Amino acid sequence: MNQKTLFIFPKRGLYTLTKCTNCGHGFQCEHCDANLVTYRKWEKNLELVCHQCQTYYNYPLKCPKCASTEISSYFGGVDELVEIVVKESGNPVYRYDDKKRSKEMAITTNAVTTRIFDPSIPYSNFTHIVFVEAQNLLASPDYLVQEEIHKQLLELMLSISEQTEIIFDTNSPDLELFIGLARLDKNHPEHLDKKQWFINFLTTEAKSREMFNFPPFVNTLLLTTQQKNKDKSFEIINHVRSELIKIKQQLPDLTISSPYQARFLKRKGMFSYHVLVRFPRQYKDIGKLREEIMQLGSIYGVQIRLNPRHLF
């Protein structure tokens, strides 16, 4: 059987951080506060891309802060991985994550993808599946990230052949995810059924969500400001919270957080802050709460989301 390896690396681009090595200035999007990702535009031509708002920039020739030309990029993505594999193996690499889909699958022994599970990938054809820098699987701010990762890993493990070896390349082997996966090793004396492993995880995850008041045990409302002026955005969210405190006096069982900044404080030129409201499932005063919240949204121009997956 030919040795075929699939590399899974959920980091797009060539490098994920670009900065001036002289003064430490980091290159971020002008419209967001997201770090810009380096891509290879042509063979020797690089560009920077914002994954939040899809803005493109020419790769900097000098630092806008200190005028130094010492600009470097760090923390490689899937594009760098492909270049390394091609150099080390001397063979082309098939890109499952490429919309154009390269045509070298029949002549290569290596393939890459940025997706954990893709039903179009014939996993049983591979002798090795390698998760590169696997600790990055849990990097998403989504509070359902662990459930999604476990679900996709289960689908992957049910799609491989008995000869396929899954390798988790990680510098954080003590993470709960990898400890649980170690028990699924065919040679491990405590080997568990894959489906039972997933059920065990869901049971533990449900207890954790109940403890920290996450859905489905409570409902959440995320109220978000979006203003071009940072101070104005924070001022509005404070006014919104003050009004929510008044509503709480009339409607019991509400929990209201302090104002906090969004994970990407600046996005598409707008600054955002959040207030999170929690209330019980099947809330008896839901009609009145809805009326009050919709009125707040109209007065202050805040975005209102029910049970969003991202609370940060």
- Please spell the DSSP secondary structure of 41-91, one letter per residue: EETTEEEEE-TTT--EEEPPSS-TTT----EEEEEE-HHHHHHHHHHHHSS
SS3 category, 131: strand
- At position 228, the amino acid (one-letter code) is K
SS3 category, 197: helix
Measure the CA–CA gap between 300 and 236, rounded to whole angstroms: 7
Residue 19, Cα to own-chain centre: how many angstroms? 22
52-61, 93-102, 141-150, 205-214: segment of lowest average pLDDT = 93-102
SS3 category, 296: helix
Q: Is residue 1 part of a domain?
A: no
Q: Is residue 274 part of a domain?
A: yes
Tens digits of residue pLDDT in 227-254: 999 999 999 999 999 999 999 999 989 9
CATH code at position 282: 3.30.70.260
1 pLDDT band, cuts 50/70/90, is: very low
Q: Is residue 292 part of a domain?
A: yes
Q: What's the mean pLDDT in 96-103?
A: 66
For the record, the structure tokens of 284 come out as 């008896």
Adjacent-strand bridge partners of 191:
none
98 pLDDT band, cuts 50/70/90, is: confident
E strands in the chain: 5-8, 15-20, 37-42, 45-49, 56-58, 71-76, 93-95, 110-113, 128-131, 165-168, 218-224, 255-256, 260-267, 270-280, 303-306
Q: In total, how many domains does the chain have?
A: 1
Q: Is residue 287 part of a domain?
A: yes
Look over the chain and give the mean of its residue pLDDT values, rounded to a whole number. 90
What is the domain extent for residue 226? 218-306
Q: Is residue 291 part of a domain?
A: yes
Q: Is residue 137 part of a domain?
A: no
Torsion of CA 22, 25, 29, 32, to 10 degrees: 170
Contacts of 145 (CB under 8 A, 6+ apart): 138
Pairing of strands 260-267, 110-113: unpaired
Q: Is residue 116 part of a domain?
A: no
pTM of the model: 0.84
Tens digits of residue pLDDT in 188-218: 554 568 888 899 899 999 999 999 888 999 9
Q: Is residue 113 part of a domain?
A: no
Pairing of strands 45-49, 56-58: antiparallel
> How many other CB atoms are found less than 10 A from the CB of residue 155?
16
SS3 category, 30: coil
